[in-house]
Structure 1
Amino acid sequence: MGTSQHARERSLPEQATLSVNNIGGIDETEVSFEQGITILSGRNATNRTSLLQGIMAALGSDQASLKADSKEGQAVLEFGEETYQQTLHRRNGTIVTEGDPYLDDPEIADLFAFLLESNEARQAVARGDDLRDLIMRPVDTEAIKAEIQQLEQRKKQIDSQLDELDDLENQLPDLEAKRTRLIDEINELRDELETAEDELEAANTDVETRREERSELEEKFDELRETRSELERVRNRIETERESIEALEDEREDVEATLEELQAGGEADLGRLEAKIDTLQAEKDELNEEISQLQRTIQFNEQLLEDPGDFLGGGEGSNEEPVTDQLLPDSDSDTVTCWTCGSSVATDQIETTLEQLRSVYEERLDERSEINDELEKNRAMRNEIEENRSEHQQATRRLESIDDEIERRRDRIEDLTDDREAFTEEITELEAEIDDLETDDSEDILEQHREVNQLEFEIERKESKRDDVEDKITSIEERLDDREGLQERREKTTEELADLRTRIDQIEDSAVEAFNEHMESLLEILEYSNLDRIWIDQTTRDVREGRRKVTKSSFDLKIVRSTEEGAAYEDSISHLSESEREVTGLVFALAGYLVHDVYETVPFMLLDSLEAIDSERIATVVEYFESYAPYLTVALLDEDAQALEDEHDTVTNI
């Protein structure tokens, strides 16, 4: 997984220069870094951690602490042709930041790249927390769920269109059979018409004498035929309107059934949920601020224990040695001089306070996790109510539209019924007029005229029906031409849905795989006695989100040791040595670093507080991490740095 090589392919600058003022215990310093490993070597209280905080500040983190006797501090990073900076201000007892740092959002870097002692990923492993929530925190699951809902709605619409096309296609055989039947009937009628016309022509032996009489009769017959055609068209239109009303009434029953299944309203519930979500979000924001303040306080007290002199205003290079001698304890003393009031405080009291602060810090993290869970449940309930309400509104609008359409078609039937009655009366009058014109001599020929006219009328009616059927067939075939495009859209939508639905699972699987792979490799290299294996076991559990049950993943850390006789047994994180626990926390952070491609946005990885690991193993871990971070900066004690400093850049003067 040569991510460092990937970073170099993106042409990162070969060198970075950092300037720091009044951060941690640093008055002022400037340090340059080359790509690869940079070791910050020194004894305790030599501002190594403070320099790492300076890098974090310039990159955008708000986890850096301001020098205790300063109101303002700054970190500036010159990186290639670009310059990034962030300023820290002390206002009303809190630290605020401003500037133009490297990162707009430092969350993912704070989690997986800035691996100081208080790093949340390392602490989560040490406490035995469920690691799944932490590894998934940078993933916007709400956005993914919203996108899934949109795609599901789109797929539902496409499926509805495809079902409609299937129904239309199923109508084609009947329509084609009907067309064939009508064509056959038209052909038969034309044969009958031809015969009738031949008989009429043969009967017209005295054309001249009967011309005038026949002309008037033919005129009436033509008028009668046209009127009957109009009457038939009106009847067909009435039949069509009635069929449409029946279809609309069937659809109305379906819509009414849908409305009965859906619950209207939900405004009150939605209002309560919105208010609750706002309250929970406000509580989370307050917790985030409190957690940040606790972290800064813990870092400050750790720095105070590490180097009390940094908080007395002397600093390196100061000429006020007599004042420092008066305020600082002897080297063998167990007390520290308070920088605010000048009184001596026992170091064990500060350590006790630190333990209390860390305990409160962990409690606040747990509270934030609980609030996150509650937020997810309430947002899921809100989405369900909104979706239900939207479907209810759509169904209500469709029902209103159907009622309006049925009313319009009923009005049309009334108008057409009036037309039908008028044509029927007109036909009756025409038939009476024709009867008056008929005589015994002309009865036979007039009957033949009637037959011819009736056949012509029947042919015209059948041809009209045939044309209607052909129009329907053509319309269906044109609609069916859209099927291929719809199927392609459905396939693409289905693929997008599958990708979104599995994206969270893929990230979880990748995180577990990365951790297990690197943990196995490092354990093999580090050779911890009787520690056979450490891995994450991914399990699932059912939880409720609103009214629904959902399955959630859980990351359980598993440890297997072996006895001197070679028998394997399962152990817990609490029984790991401090060295083993630190390595495990670092590997988990590395897994998050790789899974979220942090190296693509954050060129620096920072390591600190590795004293619990022996020197040789520190060297092994650091060189292992080098493969994955373009710039790897490590704070080490002098004795631990000796195993590395001959081969890598080393900074001793900060």
Structure 2
Amino acid sequence: MEWTVESENIAGIRSGSADIRPGRNVVQGANWQGKSSFLKAIETSMGTETPLTEGETSGRVDLETPEGEYSVELERRNDTVVRNGEPFLDDEYDRIRADLYAFLDEDNAIRQVVRRGDNLEELLAKPLDFENIEAEIADRKAERSSIERELEQAQEAARRLPSLQEDVTQLANELDNLEATRDELDQTDERDEDSDREQLSKLQAELSQTEQRKEQLSDSVTRIQNKLEEVREEYESLSVPDEDVTAELAEAREKQQSIQGDVDLLQSVYSVNKRVLEEDRGDLLTNVDHGLLEDQFNCWVCGGETSEDELRDNLNDLSERISELKAEAAEYDERAEELERKQDEIREAGRRRDDLERQIDDLETKLADRRESLESATERLESLDERIADLNDSVSEHSDELTEIKSEIKHTETQLDEKREELERAERQAERRSVLETEYEELEAEIESLRNRKEEIKRRTRDAFDDAIADLLDRFDTSFETARLTSTFDLVVARNGREASIDALSEGELELLGIVAALAGHEAFEVADDVPVMLLDQLGGLTEENLATLVDYLDDRVDILVFTAYPEHSSFDGNVIDPDEWNVITKDTEVAP
């Protein structure tokens, strides 16, 4: 199950290739060698990231697995990076779950929320937004209503069975008696078999059937007229807005994406420079003159002389600019969502209008057909009346009794056939009761399960968090005794039997809690079924021993685990990925020791 990852112009890697294998894979190297960028390349192949190398117009990642080959291309268009190709995860639901619960790099949203001490409910329930539970419930309810109607018909058929069986028996006895009477009359008067009487009997039977047919057609015409009137009234009252918001929606989305691209770009500049200052590593980029009061050095961007305070002031200004752009992007996003809702309303009204037009056409066609059939039945009745009257005159000298008996036999035979068919239909319907009841109960259970889906996921998430934290606390020596997620998904830790502040935890403890929270979502949403890889990066707050312990724990939960480590860390069991052969951006410039 070995995977091969080849990347070009992805984050800090200009070109590089590596194999990852089942189990643990450690990317071991010093700073600036592309460890984190390699994980970004994997995320790009999955379809969750677009980290095109700064200054480049295109990049790509090729992923080869035993199941297939996947290729993702990145292209910069108007300061926006566009993804093309076929990623490993082609479903947005899978990508959301992977990004939140499997790709645990420094930018992982759950790890960031835990660091800030914010509420976790939105992120730990986010995949539910893609499941469209309400639509599924509506579909199941519609199916349940159909089953319910059919079940009611089957139950009604079962109730009618004794009465129908009695009717069949009674009609059969009547037919036997009529046939016996006819046979007696035949023996006494052979003239009853003449053609006029036979024809008269057939015409009378046809007359009865035609009368029934006319009554049915008349009722059908009335029903169709009423239905057509209802549909026309709804059609006339329906209002379809004559408005096209497509261009405005596209403009809003384009604006939002453009501003978000600016935010991402400024954020990357801010994060890198802030980290250099916070870790006091300016000497990596320029010469530092350590003075008595403050350090003086040349700015590594413009080359001018500056101080750390001036750089921090500039970073604060940049942070404020990022916040302003985020607010502006949120406004455009809100406007786009509003336009999408409006567009959906216009489309729904249009679809309903088209559906009503089709119904009107169908009903008008059906009404014309029924009227034509009714007219034909009326004409046939008139014709039958005339012919029967003529035959009655021609056979007046014959025995009316035999004619009546034969007519009754025909009529009774017709009634018996119809009643037997009705009985058979009722028996078939009644036999389906147990199947329909089972289907109805299954749909009830599905609807209830869907209704409880969100709360069930939340419960499973909290249970998974409790299990993971209990397991990890047995492995790690932490300053807190336990941690839990409240019913509202606030993260609470306890120390010495009392609730403690998140701010009092060490960096390593916060990182550990962030990993545990992500693992809870990983378990609750069954991410491992669709995403076989887990990524782990930027855990500088953990000691080498704790990192090894965490890797041992995670190794049992996924098929493929990829994590980063420094060269001085002890060797890890598994596949070691050496970045020395990669062409990374730090090789393009001279870096001060």
Instruction: Normalising by structure 2, report the TM-score.
Output: 0.72
Check the 8 A contact 1:26/1:67 in 2, yes or no. no
Secondary structure, counterpart of 2:489 in structure 1: strand
After superposition, the CA RMSD in angstroms is 5.0
Query: 2: distance between equivalents of 1:120 and 1:562?
Result: 24
Q: Relative to 1, partners in 2 of residues 1:87 and 1:252: Cα closer, same or farther, differing over 3 Å?
A: closer
Offset at residue 328 of structure 1 (A): 1.9
**Counterpart in the other structure of 2:402:** 456
Offset at residue 195 of structure 1 (A): 6.4
Deviation readout 1:63-89 (Å, 9 max, x if unpaired) = 324155x55656566667987665655
Aligned match for 2:561, one of 632, 635, 639? 632
**Counterpart in the other structure of 1:557:** 489
Offset at residue 405 of structure 1 (A): 5.1
Instruction: Report 1:196-595 matches (<5 A).
Output: 218=191, 222=194, 225-226=197-198, 228-230=200-202, 232-245=204-217, 247-248=219-220, 251-252=223-224, 255=227, 259=231, 266=238, 268-269=240-241, 275=244, 283-284=252-253, 286-288=255-257, 290-304=259-273, 328-330=286-288, 333=295, 337-339=299-301, 341-343=302-304, 346-349=310-313, 351-353=315-317, 355-356=319-320, 359=323, 363=327, 385=349, 392=356, 396=360, 399-400=363-364, 403-404=367-368, 406-423=370-387, 425-427=389-391, 429-430=393-394, 434=397, 453-480=399-426, 483=429, 488=435, 495=442, 499=446, 502=449, 505=454, 510-523=460-473, 525-526=475-476, 528-530=478-480, 532-535=482-485, 537=487, 556-562=488-494, 564=496, 566=497, 568-569=498-499, 578-595=507-524
Identical positions, percent: 22
Query: 2: distance between equivalents of 1:159 and 1:240?
Result: 31
Check the 8 A contact 1:516/1:536 in 2, yes or no. no
Check the 8 A contact 1:122/1:586 in 2, yes or no. yes
Structure 2 counterpart of 1:123, one-letter code = Q
Greater Rg over alpha carbons, structure: 1
Offset at residue 422 of structure 1 (A): 1.3
Offset at residue 226 of structure 1 (A): 4.2
Offset at residue 557 of structure 1 (A): 1.5
Check the 8 A contact 1:89/1:95 in 2, yes or no. yes
Q: Relative to 1, partners in 2 of residues 1:429 and 1:107: Cα closer, same or farther, differing over 3 Å?
A: closer
Structure 2 counterpart of 1:111, one-letter code = L
Query: 1: distance between equivalents of 2:85 and 2:387?
Result: 88
Query: 2: distance between equivalents of 1:46 and 1:457?
Result: 109
Query: 2: distance between equivalents of 1:327 and 1:559?
Result: 39
Q: Relative to 1, partners in 2 of residues 1:344 and 1:389: Cα closer, same or farther, differing over 3 Å?
A: farther
Query: 2: distance between equivalents of 1:335 and 1:588?
Result: 42
Secondary structure, counterpart of 1:118 in structure 2: coil
Q: Relative to 1, partners in 2 of residues 1:172 and 1:36: Cα closer, same or farther, differing over 3 Å?
A: closer
Deviation readout 1:323-369 (Å, 9 max, x if unpaired) = x9997232854656344x44456441454256336645765786688
Offset at residue 303 of structure 1 (A): 3.5
Check the 8 A contact 2:99/2:108 in 1, yes or no. yes
Offset at residue 620 of structure 1 (A): 3.5
Aligned residues: 561
